[in-house]
């Protein structure tokens, strides 16, 4: 599973990373997060979950379980 911020340093941002991962490994669960309200959420690839910040550790665990359960 990949859990990443929409804003990443470097050549790829989180949306680019999610798109690449879904192309290569379609069953890999991907969750993106951001604290910026108008982030590029509309550009998320199909099957990629989104969590708005702030979130707590329990929220991440629940989202991870849901993402893992939805791939079967």
Nearest to 41 by CA among 4, 11, 15, 12: 15
pTM for this predicted structure: 0.86
What value does the mean pLDDT take over residues 1-13? 93
What value does the mean pLDDT take over residues 2-24? 94
Q: CA-CA distance, 26 to 70, in Å (whole number)? A: 12
Domains, the chain:
2-70 (3.40.50.2300)
SS3 category, 12? coil
Per residue in 38-55, pLDDT (tens digit) is 767 788 899 899 999 999
Q: CA-CA distance, 41 to 51, in Å (whole number)? A: 10
Q: CA-CA distance, 50 to 40, in Å (whole number)? A: 11
With 90 as the cut, is the pLDDT of residue 37 above it? no
């Amino acid at each position: 599973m990949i859990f990443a911020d929409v804003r990443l340093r470097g050549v790829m941002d989180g949306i680019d990373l999610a798109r690449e991962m879904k192309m290569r490994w379609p069953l890999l669960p991907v969750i993106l997060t951001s604290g910026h309200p108008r982030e590029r959420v509309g550009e998320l690839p199909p099957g990629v979950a989104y969590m708005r910040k702030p979130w707590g550790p329990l929220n991440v665990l629940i989202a991870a379980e849901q993402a893992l359960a939805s791939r079967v």
